[in-house]
Amino acid sequence: MPTKDHGVAIAMILIVWGLAGALFGALFTGLYGVCWVFGLPGWQCLMIATAIAGMTTSAFYSAMPVALIGSMAGVLASIGYLMASGLRIELPTLVGLAGVAGLVAGSLYGWTITRGSRPLAEMLNGLLAGILAGAGLVLIFALSGRQTNMLVLAAIAVTSVGVLFQLSEHWLVEGAVRRLPAALSAPLVAGLIAAVVGASIWFVGGATILMLDAQFTSVFAGVASHIPHGLLGGLLGGSIAGVLLELLGFHLEESHRA
């Protein structure tokens, strides 16, 4: 019979995994759409979107202080670049500056607060889960020949990545913690998160400035219009994955506190 504590644990998992899934879904949808706009094949769009979204979400889920440091550095560097460059906005430059700012901020954080190599191990676990989930989805869609809308696709991607991430949490992360260099953990995680933030700011602000062609602007507007569907799908998929794993005995609230 379910107890009160078990009900509280389920509620917390719904909140944490739902929010993490929403973050994944929004990133996944935006990345998929941008890759498609730049002419990449559908399978590459799916692989890139699941890998980067899985990597980013795992950092916020398992190493939030480092991820927040990287996010703040990325925002500040991106805003500074946008203010200084005017209409001459280049995506590689913006992402590079944001990444360097994240590396510096992460180095300062790692110098003052030591957390070992776990943040980097968790991020790599999310990256691997994203790659495996993306490859599985590509194979399934190739064999079935079916297509689906972004809400369902994001929900399936979030559920797949979340389950794979949790299944490999103990054996992969614990092994990687002992082998990865602790000194590079916080700088690399913060730098990668800052780069993702920089690319996101380019999409929101820089792309609308650069795309003076009305047709190209409408394409980006179409991509942006799908992000709410991806966010909702991610929210549902994350909640489902979290509750399913908890019912199977993974005790996610304990691993998250750890």
Residue 178 burial class via C-beta count within 10 angstroms: exposed 0-12, middle 13-18, buried 19 and up: exposed
pLDDT at 124 over 90: yes
Note the pLDDT tens digit of each residue in 67-89.
Answer: 999 999 999 999 898 888 766 77
Mean pLDDT of the region 168-180: 83
The tens digit of pLDDT for each residue in 32-51 reads 988 888 888 989 999 999 99
Q: Could you give the count of Cα atoms lying within 13 Å of 54 in the half-sphere of its Cβ?
A: 29
Lowest mean pLDDT among 24-28, 100-104, 170-174: 170-174
pTM: 0.86
Residue type, 216: F
